[in-house]
Amino acid sequence: MTDLFRLTDVEKSYTRGKEKISIFDKLTMRIEEGDFVAIMGPSGSGKTTLLNLLGGTDKANKGEIEFDGKRIDNLSEGQLTAWRAANVGFIFQFYNLMPILTAAQNVELPLLLTKLSPKKRRDNVATALKIVGLEDRAKHRPREMSGGQQQRIAIARAIVSDPKLLLCDEPTGDLDRTTADEILGTLQVLNRDLGKTIIMVTHDAQAAKYAKRTLHLDKGHFVESELAA
């Protein structure tokens, strides 16, 4: 397997008032293509910051971040935006769907950034909705759907442009156990059958079991790594 991500000596800190808060100090890690990684750790351990760095929504102070053999840490804001659109699908804890759009329109959003024809876009949306099993809810608005259905729509939105990488921030944090298991099962299918590399931040040990391996983060360092049984 080739490395999809390679982080070398990454440093990241924030300034809060006059106080400088160091999140990562020389963090080094690798994530292989096709992997399904769960990242766990206590609050403030740097999980979300790591996800921000991997997703190109935040920049490291120092160090190198390579994606698919190319550095992304030195890209401009505009280049990072284009890189995200082409390579990354995001799944959030609270779904973050646009309430004014139907399910299909929400899924179509990332395709507005492509040069696909309207027909091709409609086909891709239909395929994505079929993958998450909600093709019959295409014309429904988010408020007309359950939390689990909304998260499935969010997953469809994340995969509609066929990115290599899915970044999931507590994707089941707002769902009951049964629905959470369904969502995690869907992610597993995406990883296993479609080859998507998935990096999932979670507090839920049960959710982490769906990943191929789990990384434990504490105070900006990986303290433990375990493979799924």
Partner 1 sequence: MNDRALMWKNLWRKPVRTILLVVSIMIAFLIFSGIISFNIAISTFNTLPTRMVTLSKVNFTQTLPIAHYERIAAMEGVAAATHMNWFGGYFQDQQSGFLPVFAVDPETYFQVYSEDLQIPAEQREAFFKDRASMLVAEPVAERYGWRIGQRIPLQSNIFTNRNSGNSTWEFTLAGTIPTPQGSSQSGSVLIHYDYYNETVTFGRDRIGWVPFLTKSADLNDQVAAAIDGRFLNSQDETSTQDEETFNKSFTAQLGNIALVVSLVVGAAFIAILLIVGTTMALAVRERTKEIGVMKTLGFSSERVLRMVLGESMLLSFLGAVLGCGAAAGLLSLASGGGGPPIYFAPIVLVYAAIIALLLGLVTGLGPALAAYRLSIIDALGRR
Least Cβ distance, residue 115 to partner 1 (angstroms): 12
Least Cβ distance, residue 66 to partner 1 (angstroms): 20
| Residues 151/95, Cβ–Cβ less than 8 Å | yes
Least Cβ distance, residue 92 to partner 1 (angstroms): 7
What letter would DSSP give residue 117? -
Question: Quick one: CA torsion of 42, 44, 48, 50, rounded to 10 degrees?
Answer: -100
Minimum CB distance to partner 1 smaller for 3 or for 78: 78
Half-sphere exposure of 228 (CA within 13 A, CB side): 15
Q: Kindly list the residues in this chain that would bind partner 1 in the complex (CB under 8 A).
A: 14, 48-49, 51-52, 55, 57-58, 77-78, 81-82, 84-86, 90, 92, 96, 98-101, 105, 108-110, 112-113, 157, 169
Minimum CB distance to partner 1 smaller for 2 or for 143: 143
Least Cβ distance, residue 177 to partner 1 (angstroms): 25
Tell me the Cα Rg of the chain: 18
Minimum CB distance to partner 1 smaller for 98 or for 194: 98
Least Cβ distance, residue 99 to partner 1 (angstroms): 8
Minimum CB distance to partner 1 smaller for 94 or for 224: 94
Ramachandran quadrant class, 95 (left: phi over 0; alpha: psi -120 to 50; beta: rest): left
Per-residue DSSP letters for 135-160? GGGTT--GGGS-HHHHHHHHHHHHHT
| Nearest to 84, CA basis, from 108, 54, 128 | 54
